[in-house]
Structure 1
């Protein structure tokens, strides 16, 4: 957790942390003036990789977000037949719901204890360590 909290590309909120992706420098050289915001976001995503991709992610799988748990590159997804695409989307929705349930459950408990990642990050880490014991 400390490596995530102190990561230079981490954006810490009271009850969540977002570690922004590495964006390949050639992204800045692409023409974007004719693109909508959604198209620009999609383009940026195509130039992005996870901060932990090269070294491997050290997060316990139960702490990973839905993107980490369900990502399949477009080449593979496009090669799936309709049955498997539907199955993939079903699992993606299942993981997204699990992630949201996890977030709501633990955010509520952390609020009850009066702790958060900005003011008392060590207590939040301790809270999650106690769950594993």
Structure 2
């Protein structure tokens, strides 16, 4: 499959589309014309053990430790790192037509399990991925893009595909998942057995992945 609507880029195993340059997806429309139109690049990438391994295997340990792990904008979990988005200043401003700012509305909505999903959308409308570069798109080394970023295709693009193209799309998305998710689960189990997490033993995990890359390289 290879056309302007959707194509597969083999080197970095990712799906790309020229449609993304002017995102038509209603879900990703901004609340103000003053905000950059960035489509799904409003989302916050979640780096799993698979992406962390790829950075170490590529000799980019310093990048991982300084730009990802030590970045105060990011949230560290035991075996994942969420790359925090930049929030546009308009999120905190209250317009003359409204009695609450988007930030206040977000806080109100997230307090109830019945409206928490609306809170996510409220914040998303003002968020920009920290790797987004205006006029270019994703500024992250494509080798290290998350499996979600490499595989996500919105419904507006899917609707433009033929039935055969949709089958190809599903196959490529499955290939990305089948590579990343089992790797994460397998090595998460090994690290759990050691009692290591990204919080308490990040340098041990780096060394562990360095050894894995030498003994049984994926790439």
Check if 1:53 corresponds to 2:132. Answer: yes
Check if 1:128 corresponds to 2:209. Answer: yes
Tell me the residue number matched to 2:182. 101
1:1-133 aligned at under 5 Å gives the runs 1-2=64-65, 3-28=67-92, 29-30=101-102, 36-54=115-133, 56-58=139-141, 60-61=143-144, 64-72=145-153, 76-81=157-162, 83-85=164-166, 87-133=168-214
Q: Give the structure with higher Rg (CA).
A: 2
Deviation at 1:74, TM superposition (A): 6.0
Higher helix share: 1
Distance in 2 (CA, whole Å) between partners of 1:24 and 1:78 is 31
Distance in 2 (CA, whole Å) between partners of 1:27 and 1:68 is 24
Distance in 2 (CA, whole Å) between partners of 1:84 and 1:25 is 40
Decide whether aligned partners of structure 1 residues 82 and 44 sit closer, same or farther in structure 2, where only a CA change above 3 A counts: farther
Deviation at 1:118, TM superposition (A): 0.9
Q: Which runs of 5+ in 2 are unaligned?
A: 1-63, 93-100, 215-219
Q: Which runs of 5+ in 1 are unaligned?
A: none
| 1:79-115: CA deviation from partner (whole Å, max 9, x where unpaired) | 4345544543554354345433122111112123332
Deviation at 1:10, TM superposition (A): 1.4
Q: CA RMSD in A?
A: 3.2
Aligned length: 131
